[in-house]
Structures are given as C-alpha cells and as structure tokens.
C-alpha cells in the first residue's frame, strides 16, 4: 500500500509562507487562500475528471472529510484541468462531492510543491506546514495513520 512521503526540511522551510498565501479560486469564481483553512489539518488534493485514480479516491476523501471537517481536518480539492463551470458542477453533483473544490487549470507545480501527475495530494498541518506529498491515490486511513504518526513524533 502506498504511504505518504515526508518532504525534506529544506523544502518545508521555503514553502511555509507561500503555502499560506496560496490563492484559491472556487468553482463559483470566489477567491480565498489556503490560510482560510488553517487551524485544522488540510488535505489538498489535485485531481481531474478524466483521471481514473482520482475518481477512485474521491469517495474515500469525501468520507474522510465528513468524519473530520467539524473537528480536526478538511479536504480541499483542486481541479487541475480546463473544464467549464457547469460541467464541473454537474460532475461534483453526480459524484456527491461536497468538500470545497477549487480550480487551477493544468499545472505541474504549486505553492505546495511539484505536481508530477494526478492525483497528487499534499498534507498541511494546522499551522500551515507542508509535511507530506503523495503522487497517486490516497485513502482516509493513510491520511489518519500519517497524522497519528506525525503527532506522536512531535510530542
């Protein structure tokens, strides 16, 4: 089973401020930034509607979000393709996705790090530190286990 990969310290130091300022554009065109989600763990998932592994992980990400959003973690999805608003909204409705979705268009990097393929998921601490990246599908269990291990190492 794939594991979330820890990023190197040097990369973390250079990304901290940029991650907080990371601009986000909602499906509805509203603007915000990653800082609006801090105080909880933030699972940032880059995906596309044409990506089979992305579609595979979405129900589990939705379940993770539903279990954690009120307490300690949220999922935000970033659609990394050129797709019309109505088509994207219909897709999200068809797949019962209710966690926040933003758009970026095709990209190979972000303020969080490189995006060598889809899906790519970053894990950001409640303080805004990027501590993991996974290229390929993730599960809620993988995320929970990583958070538990990371928290244990911080004590």
Is residue 148 a contact partner of residue 7, using CB atoms and an 8 Å limit? no
Question: 5: pLDDT confidence band, cut at 50, 70 and 90?
Answer: very low
pLDDT of res. 17: 44
pLDDT of res. 18: 52
Range with the lowest mean pLDDT among 12-16, 37-41, 94-98? Answer: 12-16
| Whole-prediction pTM | 0.88
pLDDT for 93-144, tens place per residue? 999 999 999 999 898 989 999 999 999 999 999 999 999 999 999 999 999 9
The beta-strand segments (E) located in the chain are: 5-6, 23-26, 31-33, 41-47, 73-79, 101-103, 109-110, 113-114, 120-124, 130-135
Asked if the model's pLDDT at residue 2 lies above 70, the reply is no
Question: 8: pLDDT confidence band, cut at 50, 70 and 90?
Answer: very low
pLDDT of res. 151: 86
Report the distance separating Cα 69 and Cα 65, nearest Å.
5
pLDDT for 48-101, tens place per residue? 999 999 999 999 999 999 999 999 999 999 999 999 999 999 999 999 999 999
| Domains contained in the chain, CATH given | 5-154 (3.40.30.10)
pLDDT of res. 155: 78
Task: Tell me how far CA of residue 5 lies from CA of 95, 99, 116, in angstroms.
Answer: 28, 24, 14
The overall longest dimension of the chain from CA atoms, in Å, is 47
pLDDT of res. 154: 83
pLDDT of res. 9: 36
Sheet of 120-124: strand order equals: 5-6, 130-135, 120-124, 41-47, 73-79, 101-103, 23-26, 31-33
- Cβ neighbours for 78, distance < 8 A, ≥ 6 positions apart: 24, 44, 45, 46, 47, 101, 102, 103, 104, 110
Report the distance separating Cα 118 and Cα 39, nearest Å.
27
């Amino acid at each position: 089973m794939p594991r979330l990969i820890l990023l190197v310290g040097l990369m973390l130091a250079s990304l901290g401020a940029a991650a907080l300022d990371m601009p986000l554009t909602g499906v509805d065109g509203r603007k915000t930034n990653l800082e609006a989600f801090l105080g909880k763990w933030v699972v940032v998932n880059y995906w596309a509607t044409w990506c089979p592994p992305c579609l595979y992980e979405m129900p589990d990400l939705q379940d993770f979000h539903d279990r954690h959003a009120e307490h300690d973690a949220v999922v935000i999805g970033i659609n990394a393709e050129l797709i019309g608003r109505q088509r994207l909204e219909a897709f999200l409705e068809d797949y019962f996705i209710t966690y926040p979705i933003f758009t970026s268009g095709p990209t190979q990097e972000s303020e969080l790090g490189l995006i060598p393929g889809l899906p790519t998921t970053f894990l950001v601490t409640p303080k805004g530190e990027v501590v993991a990246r996974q290229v390929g599908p993730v599960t809620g269990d993988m995320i929970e286990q990583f958070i538990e291990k990371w928290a244990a190492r911080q004590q």
